[in-house]
Structure 1
């Protein structure tokens, strides 16, 4: 999901998006939704939330962070 799409989701939740990274913005959305703010966190490869809308991006971001 690109940043424009993520910002659109955040806007519907009255989340201010300026200067927020993708990681922080997705985590803020997760928090507002009442979910764990787990996007790209360690252990994402073991995540069992197969229906999560962030899953694909999360797994990619998690691998990038682990390699850094």
Structure 2
């Protein structure tokens, strides 16, 4: 997913997006959703979130 696409999702959720990198945007969205803030924390294999919309980009 591109940064522009992620910014659209974030703005729809009321998350401020100025000067944020992709990782920070996704984590802010996870926080706003009340989900674990785990994107790109090297816990992909143990996170248990198989249907996460960020999984393809996660490390």
Does TM, scored on the shorter chain, surpass 0.5?
yes
**How many angstroms apart in 1 are the aligned matches of 2:42 and 2:50?**
17
Task: Note the aligned Cα RMSD (angstroms).
Answer: 1.0
Per the normalisation by structure 2, the TM-score is 0.90
Structure 1: segments with no counterpart, 5+ residues: 63-68
Count of residues in Structure 1 that have an aligned counterpart in Structure 2? 59
The structure with the larger Rg is 1
- Are 2:25 and 1:25 aligned? yes
| TM-score, structure 1 as length reference | 0.79
Q: Which runs of 5+ in 2 are unaligned?
A: none
Higher helix share: 1
